[in-house]
Amino acid sequence: MSPKELIYIEDALGHEKFLKTQCQEAAQNLQDPELKACAQEILQKHQQIFDSFYNLV
């Protein structure tokens, strides 16, 4: 893998980590059960994406 590709993956990991954090905070603060479940589903999707990028390196 080239250095440029590694930088791209590092950047993508940072974005996914940020999005996971945001979804986690939203899920913790939401009172509506449907919205809370939606935020948790999105959190899981971003975790899967993060794991996929992480496994590339």
pLDDT in tens, 22-39: 999 999 999 999 999 999
Question: Do 46 and 19 contact (CB within 8 A), yes or no?
Answer: yes
Cα(49)–Cα(17) distance, rounded to whole angstroms?
10
| Backbone φ and ψ of 18, nearest 5° | -60, -45
pTM of the model: 0.84
Question: Do 38 and 23 contact (CB within 8 A), yes or no?
Answer: no
In the chain, pLDDT over 90 holds for what percent of residues?
91
DSSP 8-state code for residue 52:
H
| pLDDT given at position 57 | 80
Q: Kindly report the average pLDDT of the chain as a whole number.
A: 94
